Amino acid sequence: MMIPHLSKPHREAGLWRVMALLLLLLAVTAIISVLLGAGEVTPARALAVLVGHGDDEATFVVGSLRAPRTLIGIVVGISLGVAGALLQAVSRNPLAEPGLLGVSAGAAFAVGVALCLGASAATLRIAVGQVGALLGCLAVLSVVRLRGMGSDPVRLILAGAAFSALLASLTSLLLLFDQRAADEIRFWVVGSLAGRHVDDLLAILPSLVLALAISAIIARPLAALALGERVASGLGHHPGRVRLLVVLAVALMVGAATAVAGPIAFVGLVVPFAARALAGPDVRRTLWLCLPLGPLMVLAADIISRLIVAPSELPIGVLTALIGAPVLVVVVRARRLPTL
């Protein structure tokens, strides 16, 4: 008996229905993020600001603290989610994630060094973070060799974990040598959206736009690369060039996200994992779903981080680790480690 298959129009319609639902959930989550916080401004007072009748204190908290924080959370979520999907696709490894491949650690270490040297401008931090992310990614990939790096996913993850641990230790050592920058450096170690401003958001937007444009250009070659290098080359694509463009896009996104929010772990692992569960193995569909899923995870973790120990706050990196670690265990304990 023949098993019916959904036609391409039906699959596309299903994808857009899922996208519409996720965008609706993201809009609701963003509103909740603006309404709730660890301070004294209640949801009712915050809602009054949104409808144009808020008091001065509530207007300041919503307009200057919570709204920029929410927008930055959305941008950071998009950056980390898409970066994780790109890394997993190009390495054909479901465990590939910016935090596990030295990308986030490289960016955090570079920003920490810059802070110790007196850097303060947001644009400088972002440029330094992107350079650190690029060097960190290239360092790990050079260990396992860029060509054929998907053939041994375990070696790739072990190299990334070792390199990340080394850079994290070096970043921690900076705390001992520069007390002036100790508080700021500690922020980069744990990751947080607290205290971020609109200027920080504007500083990372050009990098994000460029990286997303690169991602759109290489989406089709990446889908062909999943069929094998020979097939991709036969279709007119250049696997080596595609890999280098992926590294560049990932460095731009992760470097900017780390510079503005610190190294937030596991978002680049969980978001593509969930996107593939909803969309299947096609990297193009996965990238589309990462756009709302990344911000959803980051904003949800940020909301919980504000409320769980109110009036204090937990670092958002702690919450994403609590969410991501079980997912990592599930993938690792699978009967057969999947190859993308």
Instruction: Write the pLDDT tens digit of every residue in 198-215.
Output: 888 888 888 899 999 999
Q: Which residue has the higher pLDDT, 70 or 9?
A: 70
Q: What is the DSSP letter of 66?
A: I
Could you tell me the CATH superfamily of domain 70-332? ABC transporter involved in vitamin B12 uptake, BtuC (1.10.3470.10)
Domain ranges of the chain: 70-332
Whether 85 has a pLDDT exceeding 90, the answer reads yes
Q: Which two tokens stand for residue 232?
A: 């991709």
CB 6 within 8 A of CB 14: yes
Whole-angstrom distance, CA of residue 34 vs CA of residue 38: 11
pLDDT at site 2: 40
pLDDT at site 5: 45
What does pTM read for this prediction? Answer: 0.85
Quick one: which of 260, 274, 299, 4 has its CA closest to 108? 260
Quick one: which of 18, 19, 43 has its CA closest to 307? 43
Q: Which two tokens stand for residue 9?
A: 């129009």
Give the dihedral of Cα atoms 204, 294, 89, 253; nearest 10 deg.
10
Chain center to CA of 182? 25
pLDDT at site 32: 94
Whole-angstrom distance, CA of residue 102 vs CA of residue 93: 15
pLDDT at site 186: 67
pLDDT at site 290: 94
Whole-angstrom distance, CA of residue 45 vs CA of residue 140: 49
Count CB atoms within 10 A of the CB of residue 277: 10
pLDDT at site 55: 84
